[in-house]
Amino acid sequence: MRLDDGRESSNVEDRRGFGAVSGGAGKIGIGTIVIALVAMYFGVDPSVILNGAGTAVDHTAQQTQQPTDPAEDSKVKFVSTILADTEDTWKMLFLQIGKQYEEPKLVLFTGATPTACGTGQSAMGPFYCPMDRKVYIDLAFYKDLQDRFHAPGEFAQAYVIAHEVGHHVQNLLGISNKVQQLRQSSRSEAKSNALSVKLELQADCFAGVWAFHANQARSILESGDIEAGLNAASAIGDDRLQTQAQGYAVPESFTHGSSAQRVEWFKRGLAQGDMQQCDTFAS
């Protein structure tokens, strides 16, 4: 990616080094970890997993900040630059539909951190909490993305942020709220999961919309970037993750969409940068 002249965002909240010093981590059962592994990537409603897991950050425990890894500095700059680019892009797109874009915060953390949606854990992967309008990411995820999911490349990393910001856009547009209500009133888990998939695929599509406009305005994409993004979308499809975790995939339990679906919707946003093309709920 070409990001040399890009500004950095002022909305990054750095909580790295404030690890969870509580006893909460010890209470996480192996079952929770398996569920988290299957559901984690990304944007899963954290309260679903966390409230069931019986974990809590002990706020009385003294939290001392560990020194942060200097090797991460360039990653922090990268994340901050991508976030700033999403701010510029979505500000412009919201203006076009007569709305005002309110910028989300992005929290960097290590291990675990309190959020308005419950305790955030690194094991969940990056996520967005609609209650406090913040994107949460442990930079260690990028190592996972590269090593475990074989999705290297800067654009793969940018896509992760753009996807979470896509959830923020859904929140601002009132889409998340509507879906949440529908999920609560839907009797079957399969139906509820299907709604979750539509929400996730739309966030993928919005990530593509961002990339289209950012590239038009600032020529950020270099050769190989789009492939890296599509590869990442494919690597974190539910079918791929479930097969890795348990040897087979159960489509009714998908909450994010299959690899093919994620690639398809990301591509759809990327093709024309048109938000209208991202109506995953239409069909």
- Specify the residue, 20 or 117, whose C-beta has the smaller distance to Zn ion: 117
For residues 164-203, which are near Zn ion according to CB under 5 A? 200, 203
Q: Is 43 in the site for Zn ion (CB under 5 A)?
A: yes
Neighbours of 189 (CB within 10 A): 11
Q: Where are the alpha helices (DSSP H) in the chain?
A: 30-39, 46-53, 73-96, 140-147, 154-172, 175-185, 189-218, 225-235, 238-246, 259-272
Site size for Zn ion, by CB under 5 A? 4
Question: Under a CB-based contact definition with an 8 Å cutoff, are residues 130 and 46 in contact?
Answer: no
Of 178 and 218, the one with the shorter C-beta distance to Zn ion is 178
Smallest distance, Zn ion to C-beta of residue 167, A: 6
Check if the beta carbon of residue 29 is closer than 8 Å to that of residue 100.
no
Residue 108 pairs in a beta bridge with 14, 137
**Taking Cα atoms as reference points, which of 221, 205, 218, 224 lies closest to residue 272?**
205
Who's near 12: CB < 8 A, 6+ residues apart?
76, 79, 80, 83, 105, 106, 107, 108
Using rule CB under 5 A, residue 154 touches Zn ion? no
Task: Please report how close the Cβ of residue 197 comes to Zn ion at its closest, in angstroms.
Answer: 10
Shortest reach from residue 21's CB to Zn ion, in Å: 29
- Residue with Cβ nearer Zn ion (42 or 90): 42
* 43 or 118: CB nearest Zn ion: 43
Is residue 238 near Zn ion by the rule CB under 5 A?
Answer: no
> Looking at beta carbons, which residue is closest to Zn ion?
43
Which residue stretch of 21-29, 42-50, 139-147, 213-221 sits at the interface with Zn ion (rule: CB under 5 A)? Answer: 42-50
By the criterion CB under 5 A, which residues form the site for Zn ion?
Answer: 42-43, 200, 203
